[in-house]
Amino acid sequence: MTDDVAVLGAGMHPWGKGGRGFAEYGAVAARAALADAGLAWREVGSVVGAVTVRGGYPGYVAGATFARALGWQGARVASVYAACASGAQAVDTARAQILAGLADVVLVVGGDAAPKGFFRPAGGDRPDDPDWLRFRLLGATNPAYFGLYARRRMAVHGDTTEDFALVKVKNSALGAENPYARYRRAVGPEEVAASAVVADPLRLLDICATSDGGAALVLSSMEFARRHGVAQPVRIRAVSTVTPRYPRTVLDLPDIATDSAAAVAPADESFRESIARAAYEEAGVGPGELSLAEVYDLSTALELQWYEDLGLCARGEGAKLLREGATALGGRIPVNVSGGLASFGEAVPAQAIAQVCELTWQLRGQAGTRQVAGARVGITANQGLFGHGSSVIAVR
């Protein structure tokens, strides 16, 4: 177990298609997080930016871009990239700096301005790049991989497309209650079933959109939080940023093939399961102690997969857990009470930070009509392509 760090502030820019730049979304979220923390920007000793690959050079140096937008004040700076897990790595970097005594207060920021439609690889002819190859050779978009996972669940576990649609129904009803969500309208199962198939068996409303958005956190040492007058802050107890172990036997983006298990027997534990286990071990809590979970529902089917990978139910029982209502607000273990990616769409570097913002509001009891009663322990989980685990456990 590591020492805790305090979450003093959380802030977001509403998700959507705003037509503005990522720096603006991030800076708006940063100012909101600072206001929430009751701190001035000059009191921040370090800023960690989650990188976007869609903003040119300013995106690659996101930390400095946000520091400049807020006004240079001399803070230490870092910029990190780990695809969808970038936000968790930014939190991890900030935490390491705090625990190492390099900074008392660290601002973590992510923002993105995403194009409409499929994400695509960087330009140029790059046959050494698996992300380029999967598009060039196969036309395998992200939703194609989501479709493969969904079909595999149907074949192995007996999930149905109706089960998948119910995830969207649950998340859209919660997103309707979230002022930061992009889609704020409850969707019925018939509407999901009537939407166009994108990657069989998944339909448009099974798959998360690409969005603009920004999210930020102000983290500090526990000692600073006390001096600042916050006796019982939300605390980050674990950040899991693990990588897979050879041989990796589940096909993952952007790879064309898995590792071969011919020479080395694979572990029984999948990569996604190991992401959660590392977080649980570091936090000293188990799935039975969770009040809520925010998981990366890139597709409806993937949310069911996360139930199992987080240990909320046994393998193959994700759809049953959903149908029992256990993961709805008021259920045993509510999942994605923010509305999830189904309601937000994905703003890549901001998304894992936004998950922690939701935990923060929930653990403080500030989530309004989305509030999980008596929330004490929350987990986030996601996975960045090219082998990035991401899970944060926060407590209060």
Partner 1 sequence: MEGWFIGEEAGFRLLGTRCAACASVFFPREDTHCRNPGCPGGELAEVPLSPRGRVWSYTDSRYRPPSPYVSDPELPWDPCTLMAVELETERIVVLGQAVPGVAVADLAVGMEVEVVPGVLYEDTATTWLTWHWRPTEVTA
What does the alpha-carbon distance between residue 252 and residue 230 come to, in Å, rounded to a whole number? Answer: 42
Report if residue 315 touches partner 1, rule: CB under 8 A.
Answer: no
How far apart CA 172 and CA 20 sit, in angstroms, is 25
x-marked contacts with partner 1 along 332-371 as a string, rule CB under 8 A: ----------------------------------------
Least distance CB 190 / partner 1 (angstroms)? 20
> If you ran DSSP here, which 8-state letter would residue 207 be given?
B
- CA distance linking residue 302 with residue 284, whole number of Å: 26
Calpha distance 167→201 (Å, rounded) = 15
Q: Does 138 bind partner 1 (CB under 8 A)?
A: yes
**Cβ neighbours for 103, distance < 8 A, ≥ 6 positions apart:** 45, 46, 76, 94, 97
Between 120 and 185, name the residue whose CB sits nearer to partner 1: 120
Q: Does 242 bind partner 1 (CB under 8 A)?
A: no
Bridge partners of 238, per DSSP, are: 393
Q: Does 125 bind partner 1 (CB under 8 A)?
A: yes
From the list 55, 147, 175, 339, which residue makes contact with partner 1 (rule: CB under 8 A)? Answer: 147
Segment near partner 1 (CB under 8 A), from 45-53, 90-98, 112-120, 183-191?
Answer: 112-120
The SS3 call for residue 21 is: coil
H/E segment holding residue 10 = strand 5-16
Q: Is 268 in the site for partner 1 (CB under 8 A)?
A: no
Quote the least distance from Cβ 254 to partner 1, whole Å: 10
Q: C-beta of 356: minimal distance to partner 1 in Å?
A: 31
Number of residues that bind partner 1 (CB under 8 A): 46
Helices (H), 6-85: 22-37, 56-60, 62-70
Eight-state DSSP code of residue 115: P
- CB 159 to partner 1: min, Å: 12
Cis peptide before 121 (omega within 30 of 0): no
SS3 335: strand
Decide whether 71 or 124 has the Cβ nearer to partner 1.
Answer: 124
Decide: is 157 part of the binding site for partner 1 (CB under 8 A). Answer: no
We find the least distance from the C-beta atom of residue 226 to partner 1, in angstroms, to be 43
Taking the complex as a whole, how short is the minimal distance between the CB of residue 51 and partner 1, in angstroms? 22
> Does residue 132 interact with partner 1 by CB under 8 A?
yes
Minimum CB separation of residue 117 from partner 1 in Å reads 7
Q: According to the binding rule CB under 8 A, does residue 11 interact with partner 1? A: no
Contact between 83 and 386 under an 8 Å Cβ cutoff? The reply is yes
* Residues in contact with 205: Cβ distance below 8 Å, sequence separation at least 6, in sequence order: 165, 168, 187, 191, 192, 195
Among 47, 181, 199, 298, binds partner 1 (CB under 8 A): 199
Residues that bind partner 1 (CB under 8 A): 117-118, 120-121, 125, 127, 132-141, 144, 147-152, 155-156, 196-202, 246-247, 249, 251, 255-264
